[in-house]
Amino acid sequence: MKENTVKFDKVLNAKTENRNVNHEPDSSKEQQRNTPEKSMPFSDQIGNYQRNIGIPLKSYKDSKVYIIGSGIAGMATAYYFIRDGQIPAKNIIFLEQLHIDGGSLDGAGNVKDGYIIRGGREMDMTYENLWDMFQDIPALEMPAPYSVLDEYRLINDNDSNYSKARLIHNKGEIKDFSKFRLNKKDQLAIIKLLLKKKEELDDLTIEDYFSESFLSSNFWTFWRTMFAFENWHSLLELKLYMHRFLHAIDGLNDFSSLVFPKYNQYDTFVTPLRNFLQEKGVTIEFNTLINDLDILINTDGKLVKGIIAERDGKELKIPIGKEDYVIVTTGSMTEDTFYGDNKKAPVITIDNQTSGKSGGWKLWKNLATKSEVFGKPEKFCSNIEKSSWESVTLTCRPSALVEKLSEYCVNDPYSGKTATGGIVTITDSSWLMSFTCNRQPHFPEQPDDILVLWVYALFMDKEGNYIKKTMPECTGDEILAELCYHTGIIDQLDNVIQNTIIRTAFMPYITSMFMPRAKGDRPRVVPEGCKNLGLIGQFVETNNDVVFTMESSVRTARIAVYELLNLNKQVPDINPLQYDIRHLFKAAKTLNDNKSFLGEGILRKVLKGTYFEHILPPNVEEDEEHESFLTEQVSKFKDWLTGVKE
């Protein structure tokens, strides 16, 4: 690419270390200081300055890129190879074991057979990498020059998201969800967790750390059902989530901090991104299972020499040249999904002795035998009792269920506007069942008189309150009966069954990425010594981002491209709102159910009438006056410090 920068040769040649770029800077370790040596942005300095086009070290016109897996991580990798690596799109080949693209971002079906979505993704405005990409992807329905981001903004800017029925109980009665109900001890435990170093939390579970009072609080009900955490999941991942979404904590109970798409995740994101990539010239080869990589490992490093694949029952070996690149999606959260319908329960036949042996895990397991830098996949796919749950998609004609649903919606569910605003959780369900109605239609071709609902539950080993079976043992009609029981319309079950098509999906590994882990269990995006191999998706290590989000998939893709090509670009760390004192104050008050946090009174007196007065959260209560107010606050602060240091 020398001809592109010829006018800049003097300045480029003056700085010999210019190519020693930290492509994945870490804000949790960086002291942000401006020095003569500091030329690139701070680790989490997001914004348009990061939108520069990278300068490749050389031309890649003869390089081929093989991307194993066509989920959002794989597609994002192709996008960044094209945009920033300037690799010709025709040189990029997807190898996909399924017959369809999109990976876990699915959405399919029709009104006759019923629609199906195995899950959804809560979205946030701070997904900097996701929006960096989708601001360049042409919109699904709007004409040029509008993008997917423009469509997303258009719907959410004009239709605020919130819930009026976040919790229900007593056979359909809306339960008060205004408070977190955390006692002082549990609030302090959260603060202590935020203060802990990540290295202290290897292999610890949430229930290892938190008390029973925390685990029975409204806060934990909101959190676990929204993000699909279980008590036995990783305490480290919970900590990362708390940092990642600190700014959204005051919208945790009513979902006012979330933004949702117009349609399901496949039509909203996968379809326009795939169209963009195919129009550029990429190739997608379906029904191609990748079993292993032929890797040369010596003192010079690790170089992929070939891809060992299987297509139409025949082994296929794809040679990889020195100038080629291989990108692997490690693991799969939706691998080995078992399906059912109205009359059939999912037939669960795998167990922990045979788990993790299918195509979505086999490649990673084979890589792990070659070197410890490829991680320990068995930590994530060997305990399906703790990594599984079941989801259900309802295709609904008008019925008693639809009428009942309307009571929980902020708008008419047929209006195209926000309906339930997120999941409605049944707190006295022994399955801990939740359901949601997103904006309708949920599919572009969905008829106007049809609603698509989604249901899921966290506890797979408990009998239902009405149907005395575990959820995976139930047919779709039986799950529908359990839902009708909890919404108080069991006497109208026949009407509901007659007008509802059920499609169920039991997923053994759906929360496997949350399993307790230690350093080294997940590989880095570009493992040590790898010359032409990058790993992407939900089972690779990043500095501070969380898993189970589209943002983390895109982040790993971007890191892989920048690192392998050694571009003069960085992937900014997560949005720095966790360090913003305004959000720290807001979080402290929110955790205390909007009662004054320790020291708030002093701060209000000091900042009153100053430029910084607005950094404090709204004061919804009148502070009581005390003669020894200052002495009291100082005493409390000393007690708090003692508690933190214990």
Catalytic residues: 122, 241
Contact indicator for 492, 400 with CB cutoff of 8 Å: yes
**DSSP codes of every residue in 154-211:** HHHHSS----S-SEEETTTEEPP-S-----HHHHHHHHHHHHS-GGGGTT-BHHHHS-
- The enclosing H or E element of 341 equals strand 338-341
Extract the tokens encoding 409. Answer: 């919606």
Extract the tokens encoding 248. Answer: 């959204």
- Number of Cβ atoms within 10 Å of the Cβ of 22: 12
Q: Is 389 helix (H, G, I), strand (E, B) or coil?
A: strand
Burial grade of 582 (CB within 10 A; 0-12, 13-18, 19 or more): middle
Cis peptide bond upstream of 145, omega within 30? yes
Say what the alpha-carbon torsion angle 178, 182, 183, 184 is, to the nearest 10 degrees: -110
DSSP 8-state symbol, 259: B
Distances (CA, A) of 141 to 79, 152, 335, 401: 21, 11, 31, 31
* Strand spans (E) along 73-183: 92-95, 108-110, 114-116, 167-169, 173-174
Taking the mean position of all CA atoms in its chain, how far away is CA 636? 38
Of residues 69, 72, 243, 209, the one with CA closest to residue 148:
72
Of residues 633, 629, 599, 636, the one with CA closest to residue 616:
599
Taking the mean position of all CA atoms in its chain, how far away is CA 156? 19
